[in-house]
Amino acid sequence: MRKKYNGLPRRGKRHVLGYILASAAALLIVFSGSLWLTLPDVSDLKTKNPKTTSLIRLRLARSGTKRKAAPVRIDWVAFDQIPPLLKKCVLVSEDASFYDHKGVDYAELKASIRRDIREGRLARGGSTVTQQLAKNLYLSTSKSFVRKLREFLIARRLERALSKDRIFHIYLNVIEWGPGVYGVQAAARHWFGKDADGLTLEEMVRLAAIIPRPLRSDPRRNDGWMKFKGRWIADTLQTVGAIGPDDHQALVRAFE
């Protein structure tokens, strides 16, 4: 006689589980398809710089309700006027495989999902430069499955429509770098009183270090986060051959 589990033969139980999984997959496909139809058209970004972003509008709305509307500082700068070493600092900090993936780093995504399951929440992490740009341009700061799925789909659309350099160029010009500070040029002027192409190596590392927490960090201070992140970026830059031993040692001393 066939052995039963919870009132069902083992084979019957497998059929039920397979049906549930297949149904869930089908629903996800239908849901993703409906979301795809509502995604923004990103083709204009090939030649036009965005005048504002969803994040900027959100910050202005929130500050307005508190009657503290911070002025928006955003100064577009050409991609070739941003120092290559500054670009490298940002990439090693935020998305080292940016030029190799197609908008989503699946290894990082899997690690992020495992961490979310372990912690029982949607934690930061796993987002590529393209995904961060998608969120900044079009989405909210909320942490939900639907928002993450839209971020994923928009990132894929950005990668299909734009070159890697164009995606990175827009990213460097619109991401948040402090209260009311958006883009690398505004950040360099706000924090260090100079243009981006005049930044020292240490200042570049300091700016890259605050990208994950721009409203809680001052790149001029050596708090616990800056010491940790600054040394980490310095070590990584040396590992990938972007800087030599002398520059590395100077950075290590700067973040002691």
Q: Tell me what the mean pLDDT of segment 75-80 comes to.
A: 96
- Is residue 144 classed exposed, middle or buried when 0-12, 13-18 and 19+ CB atoms within 10 A define those classes? exposed
Residue-wise pLDDT tens digits, 131-142: 999 999 999 888
Q: Write the Ramachandran bin of 36: left for phi over 0, alpha for psi from -120 to 50, otherwise beta.
A: alpha
Residues paired with 9 in a beta bridge: 4
Q: What CATH architecture is 39-254?
A: Orthogonal Bundle (1.10)
Q: How far apart are the C-alpha atoms of 106 and 74, rounded to whole Å? A: 32
Task: Average the pLDDT over 184-212 and give the result.
Answer: 97
Q: Is the dihedral of CA 41, 45, 51, 52 positive or negative?
A: positive
**Coil vs helix vs strand at 220:** coil
Q: Return the structure tokens found at 211.
A: 């990208």
**Confidence band, pLDDT 50/70/90 cuts, at residue 181:** very high
Is the per-residue pLDDT at 120 higher than 60? no
Q: What is the reported pLDDT for 254?
A: 98
Q: Which residues pair with 8 in a beta bridge?
A: 5
pLDDT tier for residue 147 given thresholds of 50, 70 and 90: confident
Where do the domains of the chain lie? 1-38, 39-254
| Residue 248 CB neighbour total at 10 angstroms | 18
Three-class DSSP labels, 176-187? EEECCEECHHHH
pLDDT band at 5 (very low <50, low <70, confident <90, very high): very low
| Segment 34-73, tens digit of pLDDT | 676 789 999 999 999 999 999 999 999 887 665 565 678 8
